């Protein structure tokens, strides 16, 4: 049984972890894995473990922006309500923060008055398989951490506003389940790798085959034991903007490196490609494992702190935790 203090700290860890990974990763977007690896090399030694590289951007992008809007909606409605999420996206998404075309068009259409179920096929006729629904989904993993089946259902529901392609939706399921499973792990121990893969399999067999194939590859890498080079992880699992080429990489890196937050984020950035999103997803999973107390304070203090900056993200995590407590734990229930 997790204490209330620890659980609240885990909610904070996940949202700030997403923020950190997103901001840190944004400085390395689109890099080849060899170049990204070069930038990260040498920073894992104890004397420079918390060193903040110059290319570390302090500013969050769409990944954190949408995560906070989704969290706001769960707080407002006590669950996942697509109509309200669409309203929050419409009100809060700052489209200058590195959004991709599918989501930009969807948000603009919502602002123009279209309903939430009318906007997801405006750019891609089969729906987007981008990782936008996965990058923002950590609040769902936190809020339903006590029920993996519910995480699956609600992750898909929140995805369907912008991502109706099954690959886009199930990338969100994989990421949300990884966050939920991380909440339930002891922050003082490494992840129970075999257990994590088994639990993810129990959910992901229901979705597209790509995610089961990725889980097989993840398991093979665990069996081999030695941590592979970034280039090999990319060859095996991907580093792209597509949900199925990024959510599995994020889960793999988080499970492999947690509870060391700095090493996990550096390993994510070393993959190159969609670095803000993969590092943001890794940050959310590892943050849900170790809590804010397990995050490097030197890094957190660097983050922007404007109206929707790091203090806002921390208080959003607290409100999400309070909503969870009132919904599922309150003695008056």
Please return the burial class of 85, using the count of CB atoms within 10 Å of its CB with bins 0-12, 13-18 and 19+.
Answer: buried
Q: Which of 9, 63, 65, 154 binds ligand R7I (CB under 6 A)?
A: 63
CB nearer to ligand R7I: pick between 70 and 148: 70
Scanning 79-87, 189-197, 261-269, 274-282 for contacts with ligand R7I by CB under 6 A, the matching segment is: 274-282
Task: Report the partner that residue 234 touches, choosing among Mg ion, ligand R7I, none (CB closer than 5 to 8 A by kind).
Answer: none
Of 281, 222, 210, 276, the closest CA to residue 251 belongs to 281
**Helix, strand, coil percent values for the chain (each to nearest 5):** 65, 0, 35
Rounded to a whole number of angstroms, the minimum distance from the CB of residue 147 to Mg ion is: 29
Residue 210's H or E segment, with its range, is helix 209-224
CB nearer to ligand R7I: pick between 62 and 260: 62
* Structure-block tokens of residue 154: 């609600």
Q: Which of 252, 277, 290, 294 binds Mg ion (CB under 5 A)?
A: 277
* Structure-block tokens of residue 296: 């490097």
Angstrom distances, CA of residue 62 to CA of 16, 51, 65, 115: 14, 25, 5, 21
Q: Which of 129, 191, 299, 324 binds ligand R7I (CB under 6 A)?
A: 129
Q: Which of 13, 21, 27, 102 binds ligand R7I (CB under 6 A)?
A: 102
Task: Report the partner that residue 128 touches, choosing among Mg ion, ligand R7I, none (CB closer than 5 to 8 A by kind).
Answer: ligand R7I
Angstrom distances, CA of residue 61 to CA of 25, 67, 140: 10, 10, 19
Scanning 49-57, 98-106, 142-150, 224-232 for contacts with ligand R7I by CB under 6 A, the matching segment is: 98-106
Rounded to a whole number of angstroms, the minimum distance from the CB of residue 14 to ligand R7I is: 18
Tell me: does residue 299 bind ligand R7I (CB under 6 A). Answer: no
CB nearer to Mg ion: pick between 36 and 181: 36
Locate the DSSP E strands across the chain.
Answer: none
- Report d(CA 102, CA 162) in Å as an integer: 8
Look up residue 101 and give its DSSP letter. H
Angstrom distances, CA of residue 199 to CA of 71, 167, 189, 231, 302: 25, 19, 18, 27, 35
Tell me: does residue 131 bind ligand R7I (CB under 6 A). Answer: yes
Tell me: does residue 61 bind Mg ion (CB under 5 A). Answer: yes
Interacting residues toward Mg ion by CB under 5 A: 61-63, 98, 274, 276-277
- Give the footprint of ligand R7I on this chain (CB under 6 A): 61-63, 98, 100-103, 124, 126, 128-132, 135, 241-242, 274, 276-277
């Amino acid at each position: 049984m997790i204490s209330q203090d620890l659980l609240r700290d885990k909610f904070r860890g996940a949202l700030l972890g997403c923020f950190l990974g997103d901001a840190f990763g944004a400085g390395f977007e689109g890099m080849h894995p060899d170049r990204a690896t070069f930038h990260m090399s040498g920073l894992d030694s104890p004397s420079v473990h918390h060193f903040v590289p110059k290319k570390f951007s302090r500013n969050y992008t769409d990944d954190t922006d949408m995560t906070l809007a989704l969290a706001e909606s769960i707080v407002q409605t006590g669950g996942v309500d697509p109509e309200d999420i669409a309203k929050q996206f419409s009100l809060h998404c700052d489209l200058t923060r590195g959004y991709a075309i599918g989501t930009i068009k969807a948000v603009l259409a919502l602002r123009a008055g279209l309903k939430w179920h009318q906007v997801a096929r405006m750019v891609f006729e089969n729906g987007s398989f981008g990782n936008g629904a996965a990058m923002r989904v950590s609040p769902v993993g936190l809020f339903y951490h006590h029920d993996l089946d519910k995480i699956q259902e609600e992750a898909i529901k929140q995805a369907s506003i912008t991502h109706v392609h099954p690959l886009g939706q199930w990338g969100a399921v994989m990421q949300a389940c990884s966050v939920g499973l991380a909440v339930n792990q002891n922050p003082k121990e490494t992840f129970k790798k075999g257990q994590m893969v088994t639990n993810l399999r129990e959910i992901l067999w229901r979705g597209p085959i790509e995610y089961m194939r990725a889980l097989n590859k993840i398991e093979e890498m665990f069996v081999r034991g030695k941590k592979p080079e970034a280039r090999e992880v990319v060859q095996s699992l991907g580093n792209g903007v597509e949900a199925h080429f990024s959510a599995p990489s994020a889960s793999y890196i988080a499970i492999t490196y947690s509870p060391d937050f700095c090493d996990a984020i550096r390993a994510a950035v070393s993959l190159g490609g969609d670095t803000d999103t993969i590092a943001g997803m890794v940050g959310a999973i590892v943050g849900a494992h170790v809590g804010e107390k397990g995050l490097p304070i030197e890094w957190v203090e660097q983050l922007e702190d404007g109206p929707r900056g790091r203090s806002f993200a921390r208080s959003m995590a607290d409100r999400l935790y309070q909503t969870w407590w009132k919904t599922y734990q309150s003695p008056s229930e």
